[in-house]
Amino acid sequence: MWQEILKEEDIFYHATDYDNLPSIMGKGIVPGIDGVVYSAENGHLSMAWMCMTRPQTKKVISIPYRADMKTHRPASDHSPFMLEFLGAKLKETSYDMGTKVYETTETIKPEQIMFDKIKQVDNPCYIGGKEE
């Protein structure tokens, strides 16, 4: 019980194209064009979102990282319908899901990333589009 009360960091999961891994290993996870890094409490949801919204991406990775919850806020652009479709439980309240999605404007440093826990999947929604 005290470990939960005193913990300073939570684990978040960010999904991205496998091809971004070399850059992430050197620079960390850098905010995108909209100025934020998106993540979820659950690796499955982060991967499912990436696969559904990026069908041109052949291989997707889920990257777990440690961060202080105070640096993250609920993501504002994630459609509740899409989240429920991907497995989030939205029945409790409008933003009290079984799985939550977050955003942060901070770069996730390489030392925060749990590289040994990265998971990779072939995107089941892949339709092509990127040069092979």
Q: What pLDDT digit, counting tens, does each position of 66-114 carry?
A: 999 899 988 865 566 666 666 665 554 344 444 578 899 999 999 999 9
CB atoms within 10 A of CB 42: 21
Render 11-78 in DSSP notation, one character per residue: EEEEEEEGGGHHHHHHH-B---TTS-EEEESSHHHHHHHHHHH-TT-SEEEEEEEEE-GGG-EE-SS-
Is the distance from CB of 103 to CB of 31 less than 8 angstroms? Answer: no
> pLDDT value at position 78?
56
- Residue 128: pLDDT over 60: yes
Q: Residue 93: helix, strand or coil by DSSP?
A: strand
Note the pTM of the prediction, 2 decimals: 0.80
Q: Picking from 12-16, 36-40, 41-45, 98-102, which range would have the lowest pLDDT averaged per residue?
A: 98-102
Query: What mean pLDDT is reported for the chain?
Result: 83
